[in-house]
Structure 1
Amino acid sequence: MGFFRIGIDVGGTHTDAVLLDENNQVVSETKSATTEDVATGIFNAMHKIINDANVPREQIKFAMLGTTHCTNAIVERKRLNNIAAVRIGAPATLAVKPLIGVPDDLRDALGKHVYLVRGGHEFDGREIVSLDENHLYQIAEEIKGSVDSVAITSVFSPVSKSHEERASEIFKEVLGEETAISLSSEIGSVGLLERENATILNASVVNVAKAAADGFINALKNEGVDAKVFFGQNDGTLMSVDYAVKYPIFTVACGPTNSLRGASYLSNLSDAIVVDVGGTTSDVGVLVQSFPRESSLAVEIGGARTNFRMPDLVSMGLGGGTIVRIQENGEFTIGPDSVGYRLPEKSLIFGGDTLTTTDVAVALGKVDLGDAEKVAHLDKELLGRIYAKIVELVEDAIDKMKTSAGPVPVILVGGGSVLLPEHLIGASEVIRPEHSGVANAIGSAISQVSGQVEKIYVLDEIGRENALEAAKSQAMSEAIQAGADPDTLVIVDVEDVPLAYLPGNATRIRVKAAGDLAQEDQPVASM
């Protein structure tokens, strides 16, 4: 008896959905407009692919959701939790307060309850001072009833997380189990302020993630589908609903990541550059062994510097709905704003009044869409210059992402990719795979489950071999816990960075393990 899986990816413009069979072949696909409340768009897309495919609903076993809900909430400063931020690190870290350098409006939203508590560790795992538990009890009593989410960050917690874990026990004891608690040692890497920001942001979007999960589960129930639900995370793998609600920050940037994974699958290439052209933006990323290359830099989200893992991307305001403005003197600008999901009413080829990149491509005969007569009067020479500029923007982004001068394969995906030509400078070949318009939903549906660990080890004490083995087995057990099939687990990434400034020959080891979804019919975790 075969089984099916649903992949859905919610973007700013479109909500894409696919239904795949057990061999990952596309049975049905759709792009529907993203709606204001998001859930309606998900429901519409899901309803359409299930009806089009006409498969027995009870055979749909898995449903994967890639969503921008959490990113948007942070960027728009909307629907955020009431949080308390607790830093364990007094007296050592009093000089720099939490949320420093974060934009004022975000600090106003998240900085109402900020506390500094005595405790924390040195880089080699020794206590700076013992943890002030009385102070933690006092804080817990004080915030009871006024916050629903707590972010706890302790100094050098990636080395020793005992103070964070004890603090978490105290808050749960006083505030109850339903209060969400985010621990920095489970989210960011070494670097106190960035890790603290990532943890605070994580704590602030727990409710948004819960709402997205509930909306998705309810949409499935309405369709009579009892599937196991997973969320896409930004390293190209999946996490269970429980995990996603605990670590919603890991959904940030999962859209472009899903596109990269989908592009790899559709083109059968493991190493390439991927250009994902949406309605509003284009993202250029790099595939290394079928997974997105990770960024090694601090990443800003909504103006806050963070250091949790993110895909290495160049994003630009160029998509199918990008607005082109022409001045009297023949000069022009491209974007960065877009008509987005209103392309079918706003652009000239559909009878609107706004010149978009899609109109330019149709007028030049590069794309067959809408009514070409409506753009026939435009100056072809000028349009040619505009089109050349569009292509040049993409070629520049490809060049930025390349690690060597030689040409590399470039895979074009996303609904707006029809705009781009068959040849691009710097590309050894330009591949436009079948189903490329919904590569992101496919990436979401075929994803594996992963576990990742990042820790500092003092090699003088345990030795490099033992440190690597310990990290690998921990990453594998994380993956199994997240829902991976133990028999298919592979280590996909090992990074070992010697920390020259620390004594004892210390090194930071990061290991990621990934495997296929476990297939046995285990009961679906209820929310």
Structure 2
Amino acid sequence: MMHNYRIGIDVGGTHTDAVILDQEFNVISETKQQTTTDVSTGIYHAVKEVLDSSNVPKDQINYAMLGTTHCTNAIVERKRLNNVGVIRIGAPATLGIKPLVGVPDDLRNILGQHVHIVRGGHEFDGRTIAELDTEKIYEIAHDLKGKVDSVAITSVFSPVSTEHEYEAYNILQEVLGDDVSLSVSSEIGSVGLLERENATILNAAVVNVARSTADGFINALKKEGVDAKVFFGQNDGTLMSVEYTVKYPILTIACGPTNSIRGASYLTNQSDALVIDVGGTTTDIGVLTGSFPRQSSLAVEIGGVRTNFRMPDITSVGIGGGTIVRENSDGTIKLGPDSVGYQLQEKALVFGGDTVTTTDIVVAKGLAQVGEPSHLSNLSEDFVDQAYRTLVENVEVAIEKMKTSAEPIPVILVGGGSILLPDELEGASVVHRPNNFGVANAIGSAIAQVSGQIERVFALDELGREATIEHAKQLAMNEAINAGASENDLEIVDFEDVPLAYLPGNATKIKAKAAGTLAE
């Protein structure tokens, strides 16, 4: 009998986790491997290990899902970024503030080599500020040819009228061909020119990283003889196809914590809870609402750059399994923020190293069994108790920050480092520790649905309210289908409309999101 298996992988800073699930989403095998510097080696080891230990026939693995932090790391580390051309359509109205203002100097030096501002753009009510200077766009396109491999196109108020962005897009595509990728701001950020422009430039900057990660993943599977459909995790807890990922790589940012939140929801059957994901370096706390991560409503900084595309609302605390524990001169305890990360098994005391980590503290407390507890005989009981109390209190403070009311709320502990935390936490009504908690992130990436979302301004006067809402929902469903969803069970999972009183034409900003299962 043929079965439908799927592989889920999550690449974190410390570990690369992998699971194989059957069609009922039962975990058949799981593994934790070290994340490697070149990443694809770590992915390959993880894939090989879950396949070897599961005995699942390779031709029955139909899907493979990858959650990765590559694009985030590339921006934070300023490495492997594309040569980007930046075009802003908005002269003369926006000349006062140049693109990339407020972006850290080292990043601006990399991304600001080819910046152009062109006449055109729209008012906030959709009227044209100035006709688009198409001659100038042709001129810029010829100038950029051979110098850049990615272009970010941003026009003033394009979420209200996308017309000038797509005119520019068509000209650039005609001149530069298919080898240069084009990022359009109205498809990426929301209203707010500078943040949307930043998000678009960052998107354009990580296209190559996304492409090479995708190739590395596909090759790791091929090397093991697996011919599966490949998907990437995006930061709202759903999946996107490889083509979609390479077009919108910025959407992979923060998908690690998101996968853990979705995995935690699935493993415990909880739809509303706080999820605490303890890794090797950090603890990420997110909020489950209706089985999906709560989204942040604020501008988000990535690598020092303010952006305004959708992100999960996550708070991170510098506490993980490898966090270094020190005693201050006044006898108080300092945790981190540095961590031994993926070198835990060489550096921690219990493994014969010389660094005191949080893992040593919980083993000394008798709360976990790993390594060789006899190595810890020199730690005083007082030091251990105090360090443990500090660790728990830091997490409890973060729980309070994330809760929306004073009432206790269910808490789900996941991640390899969650052995650090006790069964009772201040602010938690109940603490769940599901089976397979250590690989909740990989499970989250494997069970995810595919989604599509739109966010733009509509004038209700044109079609009337009902018809406009239906139209917006249909656009979101089309996006989901483009990203790889099946048409049969698509549903609208998130919908909001905000009337914009200051705009004529009864304007309303609509955000709609559709999600469904993977298309066969």
TM-score between both structures, scaled by the size of structure 1: 0.97
For residues 228-377 of structure 1, the aligned pairs below 5 Å read: 228-377=229-378
**What secondary structure does 2:3 align onto?**
coil
Residue aligning to 2:397 = 396
AA at the equivalent of 2:487:
P
**What secondary structure does 2:312 align onto?**
coil
User: Which is worse superposed, 120-129 or 185-194?
Assistant: 120-129
Q: Which runs of 5+ in 2 are unaligned?
A: none
Q: Distance in 2 between matches of 1:285 and 1:328?
A: 34
Q: Distance in 2 between matches of 1:141 and 1:328?
A: 63
Residue aligning to 2:423 = 422
AA at the equivalent of 1:233:
Q
Residue aligning to 2:447 = 446
Asked if 1:30 is matched to 2:31, the reply is yes
For residues 464-483 of structure 1, the aligned pairs below 5 Å read: 464-483=465-484
Q: Distance in 2 between matches of 1:329 and 1:200?
A: 47
Residue aligning to 1:19 = 20
Q: Distance in 2 between matches of 1:461 and 1:217?
A: 46
Asked if the contact 1:124/1:458 (under 8 Å) is kept, the reply is no
AA at the equivalent of 1:12:
G
Residue aligning to 2:487 = 486
Q: Distance in 2 between matches of 1:242 and 1:165?
A: 19
Deviation at 1:510, TM superposition (A): 0.2
**What secondary structure does 1:86 align onto?**
strand
Residue aligning to 1:119 = 120
Residue aligning to 1:131 = 132
**What secondary structure does 1:454 align onto?**
strand
Deviation at 1:317, TM superposition (A): 1.0
Q: Distance in 1 between matches of 2:223 and 2:170?
A: 38
Deviation at 1:180, TM superposition (A): 0.5
Asked if the contact 2:182/2:204 (under 8 Å) is kept, the reply is yes
AA at the equivalent of 2:17:
D
CA RMSD of aligned residues (A): 0.9
User: Which is worse superposed, 454-463 or 306-315?
Assistant: 454-463
Count of residues in Structure 1 that have an aligned counterpart in Structure 2: 519
**What secondary structure does 1:138 align onto?**
helix
Q: Distance in 2 between matches of 1:384 and 1:399?
A: 23
Q: Distance in 2 between matches of 1:316 and 1:501?
A: 40
Q: Distance in 2 between matches of 1:500 and 1:274?
A: 37
Q: Distance in 2 between matches of 1:384 and 1:467?
A: 60
Asked if the contact 1:13/1:34 (under 8 Å) is kept, the reply is yes
Q: Distance in 1 between matches of 2:481 and 2:144?
A: 36
Asked if the contact 1:258/1:443 (under 8 Å) is kept, the reply is yes
1:167-217: CA deviation from partner (whole Å, max 9, x where unpaired):
111111111111000000110011110000000000000000000000000
Q: Distance in 2 between matches of 1:324 and 1:485?
A: 49
| Structure 1: 4+ residue segments shifted above 4 A | none
Residue aligning to 1:69 = 70
1:109-155: CA deviation from partner (whole Å, max 9, x where unpaired):
10010000011111222211111010001111111111000000011
Q: Distance in 1 between matches of 2:332 and 2:94?
A: 53
Residue aligning to 2:5 = 4
Residue aligning to 2:101 = 100
Deviation at 1:73, TM superposition (A): 0.1
Asked if 1:165 is matched to 2:166, the reply is yes
Q: Distance in 2 between matches of 1:491 and 1:310?
A: 19
Percentage identity across aligned positions? 68
Q: Distance in 2 between matches of 1:330 and 1:351?
A: 25
Asked if 1:54 is matched to 2:66, the reply is no
**What secondary structure does 2:495 align onto?**
strand
Q: Distance in 2 between matches of 1:477 and 1:175?
A: 28
**What secondary structure does 1:297 align onto?**
coil
Deviation at 1:87, TM superposition (A): 0.2
Q: Distance in 1 between matches of 2:368 and 2:502?
A: 56
Asked if the contact 2:333/2:390 (under 8 Å) is kept, the reply is no
Q: Distance in 2 between matches of 1:483 and 1:318?
A: 37
Asked if the contact 2:333/2:386 (under 8 Å) is kept, the reply is no
AA at the equivalent of 2:502:
Y
Q: Distance in 1 between matches of 2:329 and 2:248?
A: 51
Deviation at 1:328, TM superposition (A): 4.3
1:422-473: CA deviation from partner (whole Å, max 9, x where unpaired):
0001101000100010000000000000010111112233333222111111
Asked if the contact 2:8/2:445 (under 8 Å) is kept, the reply is yes
Q: Which runs of 5+ in 1 are unaligned?
A: 520-527
Q: Distance in 2 between matches of 1:463 and 1:275?
A: 44
